[in-house]
Amino acid sequence: MPPSELGLERNDDMDSITPEALRILGELERKVLWLASWTIHHANHLRETGDGLKVGGHQASSASLATIMTALYFHALRPQDRVAVKPHASPNFHAIQYLLGRQTREKLEAFRGYKGAQSYPSRTKDADDVDFSTGSVGLGVAQTLFSSLVQDYVRAHGWGLGRPEGRMIALVGDAELDEGNIFEAILEGWKQGLRNCWWIIDYNRQSLDAVIREGLWARYEALFRAFGWDVVILKYGSLLQQAFREPGGERLRDWIDNCPNQLYSALVFQGGAAWRKRLNDEIGDQGDVTRLIERRSDDELARLMTNLAGHDLPSLLDAFGQVDHDRPICFICYTIKGFGLPFAGHKDNHAGLMTPAQMESFRQAMRIRPGHEWDKFEGLSVAPEEIQKFLDRVPFARRAARRAVPAIEVPAALDVAIQPTMSTQTGFGAILNELGKQETGLAQRIVTTSPDVTVSTNLGAWVNRRSLFARQAMADTFKSERIPSTFSWEFSPKGQHIELGIAESNLFILLSALGLSHAINGERLLPIGTLYDPFIARGLDALNYACYQDARFILVATPSGITLAPEGGAHQSIAQPLIGLAQDGLAAFEPAFVDELAVILAFAFAYIQKDGDAGASERNWLRDETGGSIYLRLSTRPIEQPRRAMTPELRQEIIDGAYWLRPPGPNCQVVVAYTGAVAPEAIQAVGLMAEDRRDVGLLAVTSADRLNAGWTAAQRARERGLVHARAHIERLLDAVPSHCGLVTVLDGHPATLAWLGAVRGHRVRSLGVEHFGQTGSIAELYRHYGIDANAIVAAAQAIAPGKPIRYLRALG
Ligand SMILES: Cc1ncc(C[n+]2csc(CCOP(=O)(O)OP(=O)(O)O)c2C)c(N)n1
Ligand SMILES: [Mg+2]
């Protein structure tokens, strides 16, 4: 394959950076530093919010990356490359986009303000085409790695071959590398044969609180090399390299190499005279090196001693330009936090803000006239036309605007053979098995993944049919040796299951990458990730991150709750239904029956592809046109399945979040509302009460999340004057007399359904699990935690008026 097809071609003029281009890049670097610093200053000192909140944490962090980002965005990046920018370098990114005509002055002026450029780069909230959101450190970094794997997945399946391969690049804070999720990702990348991934470490040796440990770079180097990465260490800039070639230069290099990080930072902050004193004290009177120092003025000495490669355009351009392969690379770039600003190197500078007086001196040094602070070409020593001509030719700026990608067709119903008794987890496996037999567009675009729980979450049959993905085929030795096994573990480039090691963060970041394939690769994937429900908590921040950047996927969590009885408390989830209720961008369902699950999955495949901007539907007050991701909380408990026809009305109600399994009669005294695996207990309790409580209603809640969201939205709509707005749950509870008691029950935290009592003011008693589970049988545990039929009946008696319920009396 020619290099151009591999996406390895360099930028046209990468090899030959003319002195003129270098000069312009130098001017742009100054401009980025100025605009980023000014943007933050403006947000703090010039925009009146009256809140008294200051915006720290940006000027120093941004300055640290100003040179690297100039080299990348104005030169080295190609239109197909994608970048995750360190959260606190957001002002640099917006300034660069502004210079390229892709960001407005209004947004910069409103930085960190209402509708302004975002504090941390945001794919969804910023208008200047952020590739990957960042904010929670470590996650954006790992996202680039997984995006690169997804790019390989897409191409291996024969899609998007007309587009050049992109590099996935992360600008990484050195302290960001403390986050464990990064190491989990590196390990996974090694297993999967990672390519086309650059991590550029902003090695300023400072975190938020402090200066980092000595020699950390060496641990990084060893670590990255161990996992198959190239490591490029960019330490000294061109001025220092020249000085090292002067007589006495080697001695100077030794001194710097041995200088502790804290001392180096302190001297950076103190400036030229301090450098001179220290150097003279420690290596003075040594002939050549003394003369080397003495030949320079204080300013020149400070410039020399802070000329690290991360602030040296020629070094950076050369390093980026030399790459002619697709192996993953870690660039360790030495930088100075706050470079070029008065608090450079100071260990407390993370939240540092230049004072108005300091800003004034900086403005003068940058030759910016008052009132011209936002002018793009103000204070530069190159003619505006020249710079504009240069900007017009920047390769990165040639990238196309975001485009909508057509949706994959989804049938109205998914096939599944329903057994008289089965669990939702078995049902899920059976539905995927059916899909696995098909060659529809839907079946081809599904990609499944699981953190080492593929088989135990019931994806085995699907994987047997569609095989595992790897860029190089790998046989299943058990199969070739004819050893009987239920599962074929064959890898091929056409495989549709990505096997992950046990790391739930990786699962969510991979789902985030797969779920953005339409935006990144122009090719839609329909990702399904499975895991055990309790372990959602392990990857929760990564899940939140994936949702925040609007990645689209289906999360299938099974088993769940104390229904996992003999497994015990370590594997039983309690709070997850509340996560489902509260997590934005994630619609949560917990079906009890397999026919419900089939309806929900069909909806899910369509829902994850929606990206319309229509308002809420007047039927359920949900923003279904906007779409999002889906969370299915399933169970391993086999339960008796209803034999019923799936009518369009029932289908719609299942999707909307609830339906009457047994509608309340006109004299109803009690309603039981249940979710998920406790359906048999709810049904039994309603039967037991029938003699003593009239017209008992049984409400099947398939999605507390959607019911709640619809209710909130309808109330808000009414408050805004749409007097006829009615939510699905309001319509359902219309039929329930106001004196009726409401008993809610689920295998999860009782607050999930407790709010139902507020919809129409019914008295409510909410049953669920509040304390860690334990081992036992389902019956024992349901009794212990009070979610069995007895508990439901007892709750009904306590809150619903009427004579004592005989069944309970009989129980004594
Ligand atoms: C998960 C998470 N924890 C904590 C923070 C708060 N935080 C923001 S930046 C930062 C330090 C970052 O240091 P480094 O990555 O070296 O970047 P620098 O400030 O040096 O540019 C911390 C702790 C965060 N954003 N995300
Ligand atoms: Mg740092």
So what's the pLDDT on residue 810? Answer: 67
Tokens of 254: 């030794």
- Does the pLDDT value for residue 1 go beyond 70? no
So what's the pLDDT on residue 14? Answer: 45
Cβ(337) – ligand 1 distance below 6 Å: yes
Task: Please tell me the distance between residue 203's alpha carbon and the centre of ligand 1 in angstroms.
Answer: 13
So what's the pLDDT on residue 10? Answer: 40
Q: What angle do CA 351, 356, 362 make, to 5 degrees?
A: 90
Strand 421-422 vs strand 639-640: parallel, antiparallel, or unpaired? antiparallel
Ligand sitting nearest the alpha carbon of 542: 1
Cβ(90) – ligand 1 distance below 6 Å: no
Confidence of residue 456 (pLDDT cuts 50, 70, 90): very high
So what's the pLDDT on residue 352? Answer: 87
Instruction: Give the mean pLDDT of 681-685.
Output: 97
State how far the alpha carbon of 4 is from the alpha carbons of 198, 267, 323, 417, in Å.
19, 47, 14, 50
Task: Please tell me the distance between residue 115's alpha carbon and the centre of ligand 1 in angstroms.
Answer: 24
- Nearest alpha carbon, ligand 1 atom 17: 173
Tens digit of pLDDT for each residue in 723-757?
Answer: 999 999 999 999 899 999 999 999 999 999 999 99
Which of ligand 1's atoms lies nearest the C-alpha of 61? 21
Contact 90, 117 (CB under 8 A): yes
Q: How far apart are CA 489 and CA 510, in angstroms?
A: 20
Instruction: Give the mean pLDDT of 651-664.
Output: 97
Tens digit of pLDDT for each residue in 312-356?
Answer: 999 999 999 999 999 999 999 999 999 999 999 999 988 889 999
Tokens of 525: 């994937």
Instruction: Give the mean pLDDT of 708-733.
Output: 97
Tokens of 130: 């952020």
Task: Please tell me the distance between residue 325's alpha carbon and the centre of ligand 2 in angstroms.
Answer: 28
Task: Please tell me the distance between residue 212's alpha carbon and the centre of ligand 2 in angstroms.
Answer: 8
- Nearest alpha carbon, ligand 1 atom 19: 61
Q: How far apart are CA 568 and CA 265, in angstroms?
A: 52
Which of ligand 1's atoms lies nearest the C-alpha of 208? 11
Percent of residues, the chain, with pLDDT higher than 90: 86
Which of ligand 1's atoms lies nearest the C-alpha of 89? 21
The residues facing 308 across adjacent strands are 236
105-109, 141-145, 234-238, 471-475, range with the lowest pLDDT: 471-475
Confidence of residue 6 (pLDDT cuts 50, 70, 90): very low
For residue 728, give the 3-state DSSP assignment: helix
Average pLDDT over the chain, rounded to an integer: 94
- Does the pLDDT value for residue 480 go beyond 90? no
- Does the pLDDT value for residue 8 go beyond 50? no
7-11, 404-408, 563-567, range with the lowest pLDDT: 7-11
47-56, 88-97, 193-202, 391-400, range with the lowest pLDDT: 47-56
- Does the pLDDT value for residue 801 go beyond 80? no
Look at residues 735, 736, 716, 733 and name the one whose alpha carbon lies nearest to residue 725: 716
Tens digit of pLDDT for each residue in 526-541?
Answer: 999 999 999 999 999 9
Which of ligand 1's atoms lies nearest the C-alpha of 136? 26
- Does the pLDDT value for residue 12 go beyond 80? no
Confidence of residue 388 (pLDDT cuts 50, 70, 90): very high
- Nearest alpha carbon, ligand 1 atom 23: 208
Cβ(208) – ligand 1 distance below 6 Å: yes
Cβ(692) – ligand 1 distance below 6 Å: no
- Does the pLDDT value for residue 779 go beyond 50? yes
Cβ(775) – ligand 1 distance below 6 Å: no
Q: How far apart are CA 340 and CA 441, in angstroms?
A: 55
Contact 135, 142 (CB under 8 A): no
So what's the pLDDT on residue 139? Answer: 98
Look at residues 381, 387, 372 and name the one whose alpha carbon lies nearest to residue 105: 372
So what's the pLDDT on residue 7? Answer: 36
Q: Which among 208, 346, 505 is the best mutation to test ligand 1's pocket, defined by most ligand atoms within 8 Å of the CB? A: 208
- Does the pLDDT value for residue 253 go beyond 60? yes
Residue 625 has φ and ψ, to the nearest 5°, of -70, -25
- Nearest alpha carbon, ligand 1 atom 11: 208
Q: What angle do CA 11, 9, 167 make, to 5 degrees?
A: 85
Task: Please tell me the distance between residue 209's alpha carbon and the centre of ligand 2 in angstroms.
Answer: 10
So what's the pLDDT on residue 625? Answer: 94
Which of ligand 1's atoms lies nearest the C-alpha of 64? 21
Task: Please tell me the distance between residue 173's alpha carbon and the centre of ligand 2 in angstroms.
Answer: 5
Look at residues 192, 58, 258 and name the one whose alpha carbon lies nearest to residue 514: 192
Cβ(265) – ligand 1 distance below 6 Å: no
Cβ(137) – ligand 1 distance below 6 Å: yes
Strand 446-451 vs strand 658-662: parallel, antiparallel, or unpaired? unpaired
Amino acid occupying residue 170: A
Tokens of 639: 């339960």
Tokens of 294: 């003495």
Instruction: Give the mean pLDDT of 686-710.
Output: 95
Q: What is the DSSP string of 550-561?
A: T---EEEE-S-S
Task: Please tell me the distance between residue 97's alpha carbon and the centre of ligand 2 in angstroms.
Answer: 24
Q: How far apart are CA 320 and CA 298, in angstroms?
A: 32
Which of ligand 1's atoms lies nearest the C-alpha of 176? 15
Cβ(312) – ligand 1 distance below 6 Å: no
Amino acid occupying residue 201: I
Q: Which among 122, 205, 207 is the best mutation to test ligand 1's pocket, defined by most ligand atoms within 8 Å of the CB? A: 207
Confidence of residue 13 (pLDDT cuts 50, 70, 90): very low
- Nearest alpha carbon, ligand 1 atom 13: 207
So what's the pLDDT on residue 52? Answer: 78
